[in-house]
Amino acid sequence: MTMNKDGFKTQIKACDTHSLAEAVAYLHAGRAVALPTETVYGLAADATSSSAVAEIYRAKNRPSFNPLIVHVADQSAAAGIGYFSQKAEKLAQHFWPGPLSMVVPLTDQGKAAMSPAVTAGLETIALRCPAHPVMRAVLEQSALPLAAPSANMSGAISPTEAQHVADSLGGRVALVLDGGACQQGLESTIISVDDDGWRILRPGPITREEISALLGDEEKPDPNADPDTVISPGQLASHYAPSKTLRCNALDPQADEWLIGFGEIEGDDNLSPTSDLAEAAANLYAALHRADASSKARIAIVPIPLTGIGIAINDRLKRAAH
Ligand code: AMP
Ligand code: MG
């Protein structure tokens, strides 16, 4: 149990019917709770309540211009909040429940129901139907749409274990449901999609190739190439950062560097001795947490291949090193 100076307690509880009911009670009371998803641990709160959403921003010290992803139990709950074009519907049918967040226009109903803080005032909303059984049980039992960013202080390494949450948010969240280590270990793929086409806003476990194969067309040109259009305000250059300096693509570790290896390059730690990128993604944040806690002053990581989920791993590493 972690307690801050005001005596606010953070309890980690194993997932059972009792702790699930307690989490749901917190959510109905407009409070935030931390819980596992298939990507990383999330800090969830009722997306329709501005005070509940404010608790997320406050606990994480997250800038208010950075909108939240809203998690729903199924496609019909999503359709009440956002407009699903044919392409969006096809994506939802194929990839939900799963690690795909879709940015779609808000419907009038969605706009009336959601706290404006969730979308940071945008006319669009990011929606995801997660696969993790604990998150699904909480969504179904609470019958609430849940805003849920990663359960860590803004800008820091994401949590993939319950203890990571307590280490980062101890004293700032009352309850952490422990569902073990997260299977994917990297945040969801975020895609903006409407009738015209689609564009990946953040690479993740579902790759561009999979999406292109399903929709049968190519990604739209980069809207960020036009400096007047900011469609994904939260994609900060520095994010997911350890407290120590991180050096990427390192093949020559210095004496004061903790080396994170991959494949045959052993290192002090290794993301996947068999060069399996899915395994590396699942291990990435835990390895960064261990490196941060190690006796070495700095961190270095070997090159990670830029294919499949390796693209998302490299995206996170670039921001973590910024
Ligand atoms: P996370 O911090 O992992 O919860 O991811 C949230 C990210 O989703 C934000 O930082 C934004 O980049 C993106 N996002 C959420 N809502 C929107 C939206 N309406 N339009 C564009 N991007 C969004
Ligand atoms: Mg995050």
> Above 60 in pLDDT, residue 105?
yes
Q: Which atom of ligand 1 is nearest to the CA of 158?
A: 3
Over the stretch 11-20, which tens digit does the pLDDT of each residue have?
A: 999 999 999 9
Q: Cβ distance 186 to 304 under 8 Å?
A: no
Q: Which ligand is nearest to the CA of 240?
A: 2
Over the stretch 209-242, which tens digit does the pLDDT of each residue have?
A: 999 999 998 888 876 665 555 456 566 777 888 9
Q: Is 122 in the pocket of ligand 1 (CB under 6 A)?
A: yes
pTM: 0.93
Give the mean pLDDT of 60-74.
95
pLDDT recorded at residue 3: 56
Sign of CA dihedral 218, 219, 225, 228: positive
Q: Is 201 in the pocket of ligand 1 (CB under 6 A)?
A: yes
Q: Which ligand is nearest to the CA of 189?
A: 1
> Above 80 in pLDDT, residue 66?
yes
Residue closest by Cα to atom 22 of ligand 1: 232
Give the mean pLDDT of 156-160.
96
pLDDT recorded at residue 150: 97
Residue closest by Cα to atom 21 of ligand 1: 232
C-alpha 248/C-alpha 264 separation (Å) is 17
Q: Which is nearest to 211 in space by CA: 79, 114, 92?
A: 92
Kindly report the number of other CB atoms within 10 A of residue 61's CB atom: 11
Query: Please, which residues have CB within 8 angstroms of residue 31's CB and are 6 or more apart in sequence?
Result: 45, 52, 55, 174
Q: Is 292 in the pocket of ligand 1 (CB under 6 A)?
A: no
Between the CA of 264 and the centroid of ligand 2 the distance, in Å, is 30
Q: Is 127 in the pocket of ligand 1 (CB under 6 A)?
A: no
pLDDT recorded at residue 238: 78
Q: Cβ distance 186 to 310 under 8 Å?
A: no
pLDDT recorded at residue 237: 73
pLDDT recorded at residue 137: 98
Q: Is 150 in the pocket of ligand 1 (CB under 6 A)?
A: yes
Over the stretch 179-208, which tens digit does the pLDDT of each residue have?
A: 999 999 999 999 999 988 999 999 999 999
Domains of the chain (ranges, CATH numbers): 2-215 (3.90.870.10), 246-320 (3.40.50.11030)
pLDDT recorded at residue 74: 97
Residue closest by Cα to atom 4 of ligand 1: 149
**Angle subtended at Cα 81 by Cα 79 and Cα 86, rounded to the nearest 5 degrees:** 35
> Above 90 in pLDDT, residue 7?
no
C-alpha 129/C-alpha 58 separation (Å) is 25
Q: Which atom of ligand 1 is nearest to the CA of 149?
A: 4
pLDDT recorded at residue 184: 96
Residue type, position 175, single letter: L
pLDDT recorded at residue 142: 98
Task: Put residue 140 in one of left, alpha, beta given phi > 0 → left and psi -120 to 50 → alpha.
Answer: alpha
Residue closest by Cα to atom 9 of ligand 1: 234
Q: Is 281 in the pocket of ligand 1 (CB under 6 A)?
A: no
pLDDT recorded at residue 232: 62
**Which ranges of the chain would DSSP assign to H, the alpha helix?**
17-28, 50-60, 75-79, 86-95, 108-113, 116-119, 133-142, 162-169, 208-215, 277-293, 310-321
Helix, strand, or coil here: 139?
Answer: helix
pLDDT recorded at residue 222: 73
Between the CA of 267 and the centroid of ligand 1 the distance, in Å, is 34
Q: Which is nearest to 241 in space by CA: 276, 302, 285?
A: 285
Sign of CA dihedral 42, 231, 80, 28: positive
Between the CA of 197 and the centroid of ligand 1 the distance, in Å, is 18
pLDDT recorded at residue 234: 61
Over the stretch 261-298, which tens digit does the pLDDT of each residue have?
A: 999 999 999 999 999 999 999 999 999 999 999 999 99
Q: Is 32 in the pocket of ligand 1 (CB under 6 A)?
A: no
> Above 80 in pLDDT, residue 138?
yes
Over the stretch 243-258, which tens digit does the pLDDT of each residue have?
A: 999 999 999 999 999 9
Which residue reads 């998302």 in tokens? 312
Mean of all residue pLDDT scores within the chain:
93
Substitution candidate for ligand 1 out of 100, 111, 201 with most atoms within 8 A of CB: 201
pLDDT recorded at residue 54: 97
Q: Which ligand is nearest to the CA of 200?
A: 1
pLDDT recorded at residue 4: 54
